[in-house]
Structure 1
């Protein structure tokens, strides 16, 4: 059995399993269950010292007793990818315990001929999926032998490709035993990110950033993929998980139009910034957590 190493443990989060478990417990204890049980969540993937507390608000909405399969959609940061890719490995390592990849679902996805395969180096370099693994391991701890994961690396997709992948994944979103984890940070602001948009009428830079992010969050809550694309085209907000979010919105749209369509409700539960920018020399990354219900 080939296992992906926890390559970011020790730098982006602690590699000590008992310490990590306590830290995650603490963050989860400070988040309320207000919009669950989640069928899908959106949560950040930065270092835990920056985004771990925010991510807890999404993970708190999960009901582990019903979840059997967890799809993890993470944006590609290191390789150019025109579609989506699957892992070539069997397990993903975490400091808590290893997570097993669902080979049956992978075979079904491969049969669509719309998915590539990651090599091991690409898999282990990428943090957007890995940063969710300890949280998944924690919330599923009591059922650790009863679930599998389906990691999907998402490339730079056109709206048409987001719709194609959304249609492929919609039947899985329809199943209450499946959970979707959508990995995304929000605005990356500053010279080093080549993004310094500002609306002077919104006050300080950090207030302008929050206004911009919340415009996007409001559109995501409406589950309107076309409006989200228009928002990104208008403002060019540097939401790194915009394509995984786009796939989720397309899958939700497809699901809502189907027979016996559930009532879908997406809500953002927490917003944070790594720091408060007040001048052009500053930089920050924004984080937001959301949960999607399907009744």
Structure 2
């Protein structure tokens, strides 16, 4: 076992470095959500998995928090975060073979025994360079620690891997009621607002209809493999999907010439 810490690398960039400032920001997102949807009773749905964006909190934090507001209805023993590798090219999937994950609010424990068992079953390796700067998974940690302070985490970063293999892992994870899954993905990048919405439409429809074929019509999510795998696993597990929020960076910057799209969604058993 590797006895060290998964170092946080985007503190102060994608999210505040100060713990209290993170908590204030999440509370601000929640207050805004309640103001928008005061009559929505989120206590009735207990998701097994969510899809959330991974940009800076100023852009996509509200959208992500919409999903965590539902996920908090559960009491998982562990939360498995699955995201694409942005900075290091490799084949397969890399697990967080560390003892703990550094956060602004103190370390959060990694469930190493569970990861070891999962890795043995599905041949999950370890690529240290994939974890050094990966923000797609890291930006989820403050939310998880805020809503699930007693839960452990597992970070799975995927490189060049088939949708089918990742779907098998997700399906296996869904069979354990102590697990909750977080799929990390942004949508289209750097198109005009009109073009971005045209591409993102297919991502939204695919998730809503649990139809991976729609992804091929124009969805350009950076975590496309994770989204497709989640859809396949959800169908096999007889889960229902629900879209929660969609917006783009233009909502913050007012720049419609080059935007990034964000969505949040959940998967639950009726």
Structure 1 portions without partners, runs of 5+: 191-204, 257-263
Match of 1:95 among 101, 104, 110: 104
Distance 2:168 2:235 in 1: 9
Match of 1:250 among 224, 232, 238: 232
Distance 2:249 2:264 in 1: 14
Q: Higher mean Cα deviation, 38-47 or 88-97?
A: 88-97
Distance 2:48 2:120 in 1: 24
Distance 1:117 1:250 in 2: 25
**Which residue is 1:150 aligned to?**
154
Match of 1:210 among 197, 205, 210: 197
Q: How does 1:93-242 map to 2 (within 5 A)?
A: 93-119=102-128, 121-140=129-148, 144-145=149-150, 147-157=151-161, 161-190=162-191, 205-225=192-212, 227-228=213-214, 231-232=215-216, 234-235=217-218, 237-242=219-224
**Deviation for aligned residue 1:74:** 0.6
Give the aligned CA root-mean-square deviation in angstroms: 1.9
Q: Compared with structure 1, are the counterparts of its residues 245 and 65 closer, same or farther at alpha carbon in structure 2 (3 Å cutoff)? A: closer
**Deviation for aligned residue 1:113:** 4.8
Answering whether residue 62 of structure 2 is matched by residue 80 of structure 1, we say no
Q: Is 1:70–1:180's contact at 8 Å kept on the other side of the alignment?
A: yes
Structure 2 portions without partners, runs of 5+: 35-40
**Deviation for aligned residue 1:65:** 4.9
Q: Is 2:130–2:157's contact at 8 Å kept on the other side of the alignment?
A: no
TM-score, normalised via structure 1 length: 0.81
Q: Deviations over 1:208-249 (max 9, x none)?
A: 322321222111122223x14xx33x43x4310111112212
Q: Is 2:196–2:260's contact at 8 Å kept on the other side of the alignment?
A: no
Larger Rg: 1
TM-score, normalised via structure 2 length: 0.88
